[in-house]
Structure 1
Amino acid sequence: MTTLTAQIVTPEDQRYRLLRSTYTTVGKPAAVILPRDTAEVVAALRYAREQGLPLSVRSGGHGLSGRSTNNGGVVIDLSAMNKVEVLDRQARLVRVEAGARWAQVAQALAPHGLAISSGDHGNVGVGGLATGGGVGWLVRHYGLTIDHIRAADVVLADGTVVRADPSLLWLIRGAGAGAGIVVAFEIEAIELRDVGYAQIAVQLDRDGDALRQWADYMATAPRELSTAVTLMPYGSSPAASITAVVADDSERRIRAAIEPLLGLGNGVLDSHAQIVPYPALVSTAHLHPNIGQQPNTTTNGLLTTMTATDAAAIAAMANGPVLVQMRSLGGAVNDVPASETAYAHRHQGTLVIASVFPPRRAERLDKAWRELAGRVDGAYVNFESRPDADAFTRIYPGETGDRVSRLWKQYDPEGIFSPMWTP
């Protein structure tokens, strides 16, 4: 293990304070290992197994579950493996190492006129998002990040390095956390430089009718338009902060896509729009150490269509102690057959996310979520902070769950990558 000596960070090391935790969880691992290449990932995995210690793998550390740190175990931190390379400009094929952050990816691709829809924050790591789904600012135009992964290099639980075969590639695209350590992806990007960007705040009605209007519009809106909505208390009824992104640089088309959003609710509180380079949405200004600064408990659910009852339940939840966010889906996401990836949710139109923050406890979230829980249809792994057996059945339903479970056991028979997910 002499080759890893300089890459092993223990509590006595000055670097430990900035490496021990994730964005949501303060950890106390016995060691954090910073491999610089695939061979060192293999060595780090061997080290963890020889020590008999719990193992966590980290790309960015933004994951809500906090699984990319631990107490008393080993964390393999891939942040030094962050290269972004355009392999074939004509085919728009890009190789991205798993330790890169999406801000770095956007910045590297911008000179080539290319973009990959990722998450909604530049500090999110490539590996965690690209093995779970990828609901980004271009989601209705581009689809999920996983829908454009064409190949992957993986270190399996026994230390074998493989180019993912079709079976493993299926698993990586949506359920990669239990497959192995993905060290690099080949992803098909799109031609994109500038986008329309708008921030709109509207006053909502108490029964949530404006939320249903938003969902109805997004079901028929141009695919170039993707939106994210954050609800917050505002007097006697909630307000909605809408972020709208149009994958187009035409002022006329941007205006036409955004204008219907200005008619939602009981009036516009504020609005502004501009044309910006795509990297501005996942800016390098977002990059920061993750030191457990945002503990929370989060859950989520998917809606096929939003009924009046659904909307009323969401509005009621937003008037309580819960932060509610929504993401528009549909469009290119739903072009992909449900059986093609381990993310099987290909008919839903809306993702609803609910979070509570200390000192509020998970019980408050569960109580507020209870009415909507029976109405949602599935869930998304990257917005679930409690990855247990119940979450597994919502995230990987039916035949998809059976296949995920079977393949996890095939590629990782000892369950060293997925001990919390045993269905």
Structure 2
Amino acid sequence: MIALPESLSGRLVTPGDRRYATLRSTYTTRHSPAEVLLPQTARQVVDAVRYARERGLAVAVRSGGHGLAGTSFNDGGLVIDLSALNRVDVLDERSRLVRVEAGARWAVVAKTLAPYGLAISSGDHGNVGVGGLATGGGVGWLVRRFGLTIDRVRAVEVVLADGTLIRADAEHEPELFWVVRGAGAGVGVVVAFEIEAEEIRNVGLAQLAVEATPDGAPVRQWAEHLAQAPRELSSAAVLFPYGRSIVMQITAVVAAESMRRARPLIEPLLAIGRLLEQRTDLVPYPALVPTSHLHANVGQQPSLTTNSLLTMDDTAARAIMRAAAGPERTLVQLRSVGGAVNDVAPTATAYPHRHQDTLAVGSVFPPLDGPALDAAWRGVAARSDGAYVNFESRPDRAAFDRIYPGETGRRVAELWQRYDPDAVFRPALLDARRDRTGDRRR
């Protein structure tokens, strides 16, 4: 029997422990790990990785538990839960450099940075953990103005599969630094990030609902306005059934300190369809990812999700409407990208998708399953030329090829093999790694 390292004494949770019920699952999936470890320091993460390997246990790593694929948990293995690594420190106010540990959640990050007048564009929900989002991409409320979350990462601290703790940046371990920004889940446990925050206190916020017509005109007009608007404007939309109609609920965020600047960017959205309701206000940035979002993730919302990155046109807009209005009643979410995202070279990070303007996300709920989602999404997928790892429930070989196409995929697979030769992390993508590298060890 392998003994638990002394440093992790009291940090092990097993079935029967009263803490187990709130630590066993993700937001969308329910699991039964044999053990959950709750390290508080990077050194304890090192000990946790070595302990898991000595025990021969499958390893999953959880930062917030919002991951749609459920890969931050397993059944019968060991989960390294990073929720106790949650410090947020402003290292240098002048350069706006912030150190954020991977177990922090974005609501806490926003609240901590607000007194400094700083913010990080970081997804759209305060309960999401830093680690999963900041290794996959990060499509936040300020995405068109400031880019993806990974575009602002300046250094990382990573525990590799052999238990080595490494700090990587553009000059030190540049290959590790490259792959962590977009495909980090396959190389190790990222325990902390140094991120260049942005100086912003308030944002213009508009919430409106319009009737979405079958021809997709409001969807296309929404994307067209975003593509032409100043980068201060970012937006997300949700399409959902309303009687016999489909409603497009739009949230628009303007990185501006006054409504005088925000209103002209928002007003064209009021004309893209029959307006059902609207509300406009100036709010502090933390209101977008509030602490009221914080909750335990216990598998309360089972679903299957896929996504497509695309450049919106009439055909894509009609396909999106068919997905939303079809018999599967797929929940369709849209997020603006483009702007600052597309300033970054496709080869600069492991996120190569630097020309599209829209991220379209489709979800189905029980009893509907994968074939139903595929049927509903077929028309959208035909217009897609990329995908985003953080909105994919089935991280198989086909998903890998869409998320990491061409040379990016070859480089990702090579670096996963280099830094994690025994495939300790991200076992769901193991088949993709094997196919690309020829490795067949386990």
Q: Distance in 2 between matches of 1:368 and 1:28?
A: 31
State the match for 2:15 in structure 1.
11
Q: Secondary structure at the match of 1:131?
A: helix
The one-letter code of the counterpart of 1:379 is A
Amino acid at match of 2:321: A
Structure 1 length normalisation: TM-score? 0.98
SS of the aligned residue for 2:9 comes to: helix
Identify the residue that residue 103 of structure 2 maps to in structure 1. Answer: 99
> Mean alpha-carbon deviation: is it higher for 100-109 or for 200-209?
200-209
Question: Identity of counterpart residues, as a percentage?
Answer: 64
Q: 2:235 pairs with 202, 227, 231, which one?
A: 227
**1:111 aligns to 2:115 (yes or no):** yes
- Residue identity in the other structure for 2:298: I
Q: 1:24 aligns with which of 20, 24, 28?
A: 28
Shift of the alpha carbon at 1:259?
Answer: 0.2
Distance 2:180 2:187 in 1: 7
SS in 2 for 1:76: strand
Aligned residue in 2 for 1:159: 163
Letter of the 2:103 counterpart: G
Correspondence for 2:42 = 38
The CA distance in 1 between the partners of 2:100 and 2:189, in whole Å, is 14
**Mapped partners of 2:25, 2:124: distance in 1:** 21
Indicate conservation of the 8 Å contact 2:60/2:426, yes or no: no
Distance 2:301 2:242 in 1: 23
Aligned residues: 421
Q: Please give the per-residue CA displacement for 1:34-85, whole angstroms capped at 9, x wherever unaligned.
A: 0010111011111111111110000001000001111000000000000000
Shift of 1:5: 2.3
State how 1:283-362 maps to structure 2 within 5 Å: 283-304=290-311, 306-320=312-326, 321-362=329-370
- In the TM superposition, what is the alpha-carbon distance from 1:235 to its structure 2 partner? 3.6
1:88-237 equivalent positions in 2, closer than 5 A: 88-164=92-168, 165-237=173-245
Q: How much does 1:100 deviate?
A: 0.3
Query: SS where residue 153 of structure 1 aligns?
Result: strand
Matched, 1:277 2:284: yes
AA aligned to 2:202 is D
| Cα deviation code 1:239-270 (max 9, x no counterpart) | 100000001022111110100000012x1100
Measure, in 1, the Cα distance between the counterparts of 2:382 and 2:322: 15
Runs of 4+ in 1 over 6 A off after TM superposition: none
Does the alignment pair 1:386 with 2:394? yes
> By how many angstroms is 1:418 displaced?
2.4
Task: Measure the CA separation in 1 of the matches of 2:265 and 2:11.
Answer: 49
1:99 Cα offset (Å)? 0.5
1:395 counterpart = 2:439: no
Match status 1:54 vs 2:58: yes
SS of equivalent residue, structure 1 residue 25: coil
Unaligned runs of 5+ in 1: none
Q: Give the CA RMSD over aligned residues.
A: 0.8
The one of 248, 257, 261 aligned to 1:249:
257
Could you tell me which amino acid in structure 2 is paired with residue 245 of structure 1? V
Amino acid in the other structure paired with 1:110: A
* Inter-partner Cα distance in structure 2 for 1:101 and 1:2: 28
Amino acid in the other structure paired with 1:198: A
1:205, 1:37 → 2: CA distance?
52
Q: What is the distance in 2 between the residues matched to 1:107 and 1:212?
A: 35
Paired residues of 2:71 and 2:426 also in contact (CA < 8 A): no
Does the CA-based 8 Å contact 2:156-2:192 persist in structure 1? yes
Partner of 2:439: none
For residues 333 and 54 of structure 2, the distance between their equivalents in structure 1, rounded to whole angstroms, comes to 43
Q: Which residue of 2 aligns with 1:412?
A: 420
Equivalent-residue separation in structure 2 for 1:317 and 1:18 (angstroms): 34
Whole-Å separation in 2 of the counterparts to 1:407 and 1:3 = 30
Instruction: Identify the residue that residue 78 of structure 1 maps to in structure 2.
Output: 82
Amino acid of the structure 2 residue aligned with 1:310: A
Comparing 195-204 with 227-236, greater Cα deviation is found at 227-236
Moved more, 209-218 or 85-94: 209-218
Q: What one-letter code is carried by the residue in structure 2 that aligns with 1:2?
A: E
Cα distance in 1 for partners of 2:243, 2:216 equals: 15
Q: Which consecutive residues of structure 2, in runs of 5 or more, have no partner in the other structure?
A: 433-442
Cα deviation, 1:148-197, whole Å, max 9, x if unaligned, reads 00000110000001111111010000000001100000000000000011
Shift of residue 237 of structure 1? Answer: 3.1
> Partners of 2:383 and 2:392 in 1: how far apart?
17
